[in-house]
Amino acid sequence: MVKKNINIADLIEKAKKKDQKAFNTLLNTYWSDVYRFQFLKTEDEDEAEDITIKTFSKAFDKINLYNERYNFKTWLISISKNIFLDHLRKQRTETISINRTASEAYKISDETPSVEDQLIIEQNLVQLRNYIQQLKLHHQEIINLRYFREMSYKEIADMLNEPINTIKVKLLRAKNLLADIIKKSS
């Protein structure tokens, strides 16, 4: 559900200019819609989350192609549907690609840590680790790589053999889930 005080058109324009806060707000606004769509298709939480992450990664990478005549949520769902169909095709053919194509190589420079990054870094380490252990393993891994091993987005992307935008979306999702756990515990 879109919040009334959020102007989606303004957020999209800011996102087209690579405004990370606009990306974050769009992700938070539409995450549950895209995830719900995928969960109904896959009936698997992990698979739905993985496809949702890929959806936002692709949408943010292709944001300049978005046409304002269409509803943004509809655009996201159509991207998600196509990723799901690709996922089905890959399962049917049972082929495995060892190498990524050159078109998947992203040249995005790391930014300095955001305010959220700084807050996570400055938390009480023992308590923070307890909170992190409440996350799913793949969320724990990405937080550990970024904040405890202090790896750059590029290093994480190389290590996990995934595009940088996917890493950024996964990290954002993990941070949001961690923030929810911390809020509930307070």
- CATH number for 42: 1.10.1740.10
| Span 25-84, pLDDT tens digits | 998 899 999 999 999 998 888 888 889 988 998 898 889 998 888 899 999 998 999 888
More confident residue, 50 or 186: 50
Nearest alpha carbon to residue 173 among 134, 145, 138: 138
pTM greater than 0.85: no
Pick the last residue of a domain from 93, 125, 143: 93
- CATH number for 129: 1.10.10.10
| Span 84-107, pLDDT tens digits | 888 888 777 654 444 444 444 444
Same domain membership, residue 137 and residue 80: no
Looking at the structure of the chain, the number of domains it has is 2
Residue-number span of the structural domain to which 126 is assigned: 112-185
Same domain membership, residue 80 and residue 119: no
Domain assignment of residue 169, yes or no: yes
Same domain membership, residue 129 and residue 71: no
Tell me, what's the pLDDT at 76?
Answer: 93
pLDDT band, very low/low/confident/very high, at 113 (cuts 50, 70, 90): low
Q: How would you class 29 by CB atoms within 10 Å of its CB: exposed for 0-12, middle for 13-18, buried for 19 or more?
A: middle
Pick the last residue of a domain from 61, 93, 125: 93
| Span 120-148, pLDDT tens digits | 555 456 677 888 899 999 899 999 998 88
Same domain membership, residue 141 and residue 74: no
As a whole number of angstroms, the distance between CA 123 and CA 120 comes to: 5
